[in-house]
Amino acid sequence: MKRLFSVCVLALVSLGFTVHAARKPNLVFILADDLGYGDLGCYGQEKIKTPRLDRMAREGLRFTSHYAGFTVCSPSRCALMTGKHMGHASVTGNGGRLKKEDVTVPMLLKEAGYQTGMIGKWGLVGRPGHPGSPNNKGFDHFFGFDNQGFAHFYYPEFLWRNDQKVLYPDNHDLRVNGEYVRGKGTYSHDEFTREAISFIKEHAGHPFFLYLPFAIPHAELTVPEDSMAPYLALGWPETPKVEGKGNTGGGAYGSQYKKGYCGQSHPHAAYAGMISRMDRSIGKILDLLDELKLSENTLVIFSSDNGPSPEGGQSLAFFNSAGPLSGAKRSMKEGGIRVPTIARWPGRIKPGRTTDHPSAFWDFLPTACELAGVEPPGDIDGISYLPELLGQTGAQGKHEYFYWIWAIRVGKWKLHPNGKDRYKLYDLENDIAEKNDLADRMPEVVARCSKYFAVAKRKKE
């Protein structure tokens, strides 16, 4: 690992980077929640308007084979923060917490002199003061939900700013007949956007890492009127969502949350409006970086924590949310784990590029470390994708395999367990929708790939 790190540093020096540079690059990682591979215009979406993310793709690099850490929230975010796949990650199920010994991206970047901030949905539990809380895992500043279940509700009665509660009394008792009263209350997503803008302004003169995991478009489906109205006007077919169907987050968080997700008379319009509102917020952040003349020294990455979910009442088929993929959230099919991912870095990333380089959430930690000039831990599973970002494809390392407990990818082959000592095999180069099981016709490939289910669980030295 040390020899590889030295080689990477030399490569960076040749590209104009040095670990002793006067100003190390800033990093902004924006994460959507339950956004599908096909939910953005630049990935083929035809109904939902996402002009700023589409522009971000034109100005940067669009990944077509980037994978989330897992099919649901907590494990996926654990992989992103720790650089480990599910064979070595400390969190492999929803609701898990990071362990005291887990080393995270912000912890490593702080060693390199970065100011670190996390705003939004942590997704790994961790109330302030807990060893696994954001502030105890490397973030200088935290604003958001301490519990992933609470993040299911967009009009919270309180949020946390570090160890202080921020109260929203105007969000009490907002529901009437199962739905929120439109035009009332404080929308948490907008609070996160404002806090992110403040964080960037405050740290504009110093290297910073901003982790911005938005809760949109996770159910419940609700959005302020100005984002919903344009889609209501289209007259889409709608099946109303009844209040109370869905996860309440494991306990009372306030009077309005005890029944579960809010009702929604127009789930299609709400879903589209939420994504467009998130797109608008991202545009504000990109515009701010331009205004502060930080864009050329800031790598911005956008992704989603897993595939799309219909739990809010919208139809995934109506939006073609998974695009050409099969499956959705909680599925090991590509639609559950392959996620839209865009990187922007003017002057460093050539605009308008697309890459099919296979990569995953556990690759972000070594990428961040390479940029910051610090050595990553030796027990991670990730490989820095910085060479791919910069167009140095000949220098880009590749994974021997990808692992998600119930699925393995080896090269173009995808393998799913299918009973005792039985598997389903798909050729992703020719069958991205995983429709044609080749296991019976190619037993030698099954035998070669299936060994990685055991390899992935071995302790790394």
Kindly report the CATH number assigned to the domain that includes residue 432: 3.30.1120.10
pLDDT value at residue 243: 86
* Among the listed residues 200, 411, 409, 368, the one whose alpha carbon sits nearest the alpha carbon of residue 285: 200
Residue 417: strand pairing partners: 423
Contact residues for 7 (Cβ-Cβ < 8 A; gap 6+) = none
- Same domain flag for 390 and 419: no
pLDDT of amino acid 17: 47
Residue 252 has what pLDDT? 35
d(CA 209, CA 315): 36
The verdict on whether omega for the bond into residue 346 sits within 30 degrees of 0, i.e. cis, is no
Q: Are 314 and 455 within one domain?
A: no
Taking only the tens of pLDDT, the chain with its 461 residues reads: 444 444 444 445 444 444 334 589 999 999 999 999 999 999 999 999 999 999 999 999 999 999 999 999 999 999 999 999 999 999 999 999 999 999 999 999 999 999 999 999 999 987 888 899 999 999 999 999 988 888 999 999 999 999 999 999 999 989 888 899 888 999 999 999 999 999 999 999 999 999 999 999 999 999 999 999 999 999 999 999 998 765 544 333 444 455 679 999 999 999 999 999 999 999 999 999 999 999 999 999 999 999 999 999 999 999 999 999 999 999 999 999 999 999 999 999 999 999 999 999 999 999 999 999 999 999 999 999 999 999 998 999 999 999 999 999 999 999 999 999 999 999 999 999 999 999 999 999 999 999 999 999 998 76
Q: Which CATH number do you get for residue 187?
A: 3.40.720.10
Domain that holds residue 418: 407-461
Residue that finishes a domain, picked among 360, 381, 401: 401
Residue 41 near residue 50, CB atoms below 8 Å: yes
Residues 324 and 433 in one domain: no
Q: Do residues 418 and 344 share a domain?
A: no
CA atoms 254, 255, 261, 262: torsion sign = negative
SS3 string, the chain, reads CHHHHHHHHHHHHHCCCCCCCCCCCEEEEEEECCCCCCCCHHHCCCCCCCHHHHHHHHHCEEECCEECCCCCHHHHHHHHHHCCCCCCCCCCCCCCCCCCCCCCHHHHHHHCCCEEEEEEECCCCCCCCCCCCHHHHCCCEEEEECCCCHHHCCCCCEEEECCEEEECHHHCCCEECCEECCCCCCCHHHHHHHHHHHHHHHCCCCCEEEEEECCCCCCCCCCCHHHHHHHHCCCCCCCCECCCCCCCCCCCCCHHHCCCCCCECCHHHHHHHHHHHHHHHHHHHHHHHHHCCCHHHEEEEEEECCCCCCCCCCCHHHHCCCCCCCCCCCCCCHHHHECCEEEECCCCCCCCEEECCCEEHHHHHHHHHHHHCCCCCCCCCCCCCHHHHCCCHHHCCCCCCEECCCCEEECCEEEEECCCCCEEEEECCCCCCCCCCCCCCCHHHHHHHHCHHHHCCCCCC
Q: Are 36 and 75 part of one and the same domain? A: yes
Q: How far is CA 362 from CA 156, 218, 311, 313, 416, in A?
A: 31, 22, 27, 31, 21
Choosing from 401, 420, 443, the residue where a domain stops is: 401
Instruction: Say whether both 341 and 422 belong to one domain.
Output: no
Residues 275 and 420 in one domain: no
* pLDDT, position 42: 98
User: According to the 3-state scheme, what is the secondary structure of 323-339?
Assistant: CCCCCCCCCCCHHHHEC
- Domain shared by 411 and 453, yes or no: yes
How many structural domains does the chain have? 2
Query: Would strands 158-161 and 164-167 be described as parallel, antiparallel, or unpaired?
Result: antiparallel
Q: Are strands 26-32 and 208-213 parallel, antiparallel or unpaired?
A: parallel
Closest CA to 312 of 186, 428, 222: 222
Task: For residues 331 and 411, state if they share a domain.
Answer: no
Residue at a domain's end among 401, 432, 452: 401
pLDDT at 194: 98
Looking at residue 258, what is its pLDDT? 55
Q: Are residues 148 and 284 in the same domain?
A: yes
pLDDT of residue 459: 85
Q: Are residues 421 and 378 in the same domain?
A: no
Residues 163 and 307 in one domain: yes
What was the pLDDT predicted at 251?
A: 37
